[in-house]
């Protein structure tokens, strides 16, 4: 596919190569991207993924989409390694583009790379450069496997820069960033104008209530005298929910916290988000940051990039939010109390938050970037 890149959603001219994507599972937030790519590439585009629920509420257990091909659940084989049943039976031929989920522990991925090389298909490694769950020895293995690919697709442009700085001598293949995001159209339509002075001193947390989120740190911050009039809305559920409710009761702040549970209906989420003044995520933030920014909420997150997921690249302290010292409840309380009482600064930060996800970190831009990579390989 040579020539200018087509607008996302516009079909491209017929070609003989197929675009084959493999994923460990099919999370709901990925479906809009794959649906757009299917409209662009038509029958050339397919996604293979296991029907499994390891991604919790975000996992799509069934789908009737024409581009979807189900695989059996991955099965453990040895030392946390796994094999995605049925993956090796995926049809590949010369000229195809195989886009692999970058998970080294999925040994079937290595077999698929070998199969692609034998038949003359191109391989795209799609994954993280570094995230909160990364470990140096695992990253070393991952970087080694990446060298087998014909192109690398990271979650963000920031990761591209980090990878090329660290692996410049090994970057002979195209290395691009997707700027991982969500479908923002409905949120934009539901988003209310942001007038900080007219909103209550209310914080929004949205995401899975797990250890990764470190919500206990936020509860400790809310118990500080400087945050005595600040309230919190929690959208999400998880294995830490009951423990955290008990913790809130012990701290005497239960009356200032609304636990909404897991919500996937965007109008319901909007009714809550549109009354909040700030988005706060005390732990390792990922796509939740994009969700909060799209509602125009200035975001407060911690300052250790290496303890975040890749989507932290969307956060710009001093522009669309603020950062506090990693793991420090006092610092979080001070950051909240300082920012929440500055309506003019909040309005400026809200404007920047909206700009952030209007330009990128949205599905339309992701589709454009994906197509640009494929365009360079065909």
pLDDT digits (tens, 9 = 90+) for 363-377: 999 999 999 999 999
What integer is the mean pLDDT of 342-352? 98
Query: What pLDDT score does 56 carry?
Result: 41
Q: Of 10-19, 120-129, 140-149, 164-173, which gets the smallest average pLDDT? A: 10-19
Model confidence band, residue 61 (pLDDT cutoffs 50, 70, 90) = very low
Q: How confident is the model at residue 5 (pLDDT cuts 50, 70, 90)?
A: very low
Burial 308-340 (b: 16+ CB within 10 A, else e): bbbbbbbbeeeebbbbbebebbebbbbbbbebb
Phi, psi of 9, rounded to the nearest 5 degrees? 100, -10
| Mean pLDDT score, 83-103 | 94
Contacts of residues 133-139 at CB distance under 8 Å and 24 or more positions apart, as own/partner, are 133/284, 134/306, 138/104
d(CA 314, CA 290) in angstroms, rounded, equals 7
Return the pLDDT at 76: 86
pLDDT on residue 145 = 86
Q: What is the pLDDT of residues 316-327, one digit of tens each?
A: 999 999 999 999
Beta carbons of 84 and 90 less than 8 angstroms apart? no
When pLDDT is cut at 50, 70 and 90, the band that residue 58 belongs to is: very low
Residues of the chain with CATH 3.40.50.2000: 19-183+362-377, 185-359
Q: Which residues does residue 152 pair with via DSSP β-bridges, in sequence order?
A: 125, 175
E-strand ranges in 303-363 read: 321-324
Q: Quick one: what percent of the chain has pLDDT higher than 70? A: 91
Confidence of residue 7 (pLDDT cuts 50, 70, 90): low
Reported confidence tier of residue 205, pLDDT bands at 50, 70, 90: very high
Q: Could you please state the CATH topology (level 3) that the domain comprising 19-183+362-377 is classified under.
A: Rossmann fold (3.40.50)
Note the pLDDT tens digit of each residue in 266-299.
999 999 999 999 999 999 999 999 999 999 999 9
Give the right CATH number for 185-359 from 3.30.465.10, 3.30.565.10, 2.30.42.10, 3.40.50.2000: 3.40.50.2000
Q: How does pLDDT run across 239-258, given as a tens digit for each residue?
A: 999 999 999 999 999 999 99
What integer pLDDT is reported at residue 263 of this predicted model? 96
β-sheet with 299-302: strand ranges across? 257-261, 231-235, 202-206, 278-281, 299-302, 321-324
Tell me the pLDDT of the chain averaged across its residues.
91
Residue 168 has pLDDT above 90, yes or no: no
Q: 342 in helix, strand or coil?
A: coil
Q: Over pLDDT 90: what percentage of the chain?
A: 78
């Amino acid at each position: 596919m040579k020539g200018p890149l087509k607008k996302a959603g516009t079909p491209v001219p017929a070609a003989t190569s197929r675009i084959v994507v493999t994923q460990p599972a099919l999370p709901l937030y990925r479906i809009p991207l794959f649906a757009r790519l299917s409209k662009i590439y038509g029958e050339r585009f397919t996604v293979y993924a296991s029907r499994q629920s390891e991604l919790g509420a975000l996992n799509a257990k069934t789908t009737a989409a024409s581009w979807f091909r189900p695989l059996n659940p991955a099965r453990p084989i040895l030392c946390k390694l796994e094999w995605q049943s049925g993956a090796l039976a995926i049809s590949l031929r010369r000229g195809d583009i195989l886009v692999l989920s970058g998970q080294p522990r999925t040994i079937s991925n290595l077999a698929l790379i070998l199969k692609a090389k034998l038949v003359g298909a191109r391989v795209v490694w799609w994954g993280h450069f570094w995230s909160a769950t990364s470990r140096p020895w695992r990253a070393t293995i991952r970087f080694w496997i990446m060298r087998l690919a014909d192109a690398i697709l990271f979650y963000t442009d920031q990761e591209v820069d980090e990878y090329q700085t660290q692996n410049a001598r090994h970057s002979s293949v195209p290395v691009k960033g997707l700027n991982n995001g969500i479908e923002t159209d409905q949120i934009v339509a539901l988003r209310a104008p942001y007038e900080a002075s007219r909103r209550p001193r209310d914080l929004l947390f949205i995401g899975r209530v797990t250890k990764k989120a470190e919500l206990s740190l936020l509860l400790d911050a809310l118990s500080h005298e400087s945050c005595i009039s600040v309230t919190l809305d929690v959208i999400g559920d998880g294995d830490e929910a009951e423990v955290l409710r008990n913790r809130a009761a012990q701290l005497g702040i239960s009356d200032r916290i609304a636990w909404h549970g897991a919500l996937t209906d965007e109008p319901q989420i909007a009714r809550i988000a549109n009354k909040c003044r700030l988005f706060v995520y005390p732990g390792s933030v990922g796509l939740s940051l994009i969700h909060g920014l799209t509602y125009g909420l200035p975001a407060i997150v911690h300052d250790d990039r290496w303890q975040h997921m890749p989507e932290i690249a969307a956060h710009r302290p001093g522009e669309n939010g603020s950062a506090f010292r990693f793991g420090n409840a006092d610092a979080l309380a001070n950051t909240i109390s300082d920012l929440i009482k500055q309506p003019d600064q909040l309005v400026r930060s809200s404007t920047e938050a909206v700009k952030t996800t209007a330009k990128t970190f949205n599905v339309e831009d992701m589709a454009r970037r994906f197509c640009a990579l494929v365009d360079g390989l065909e």
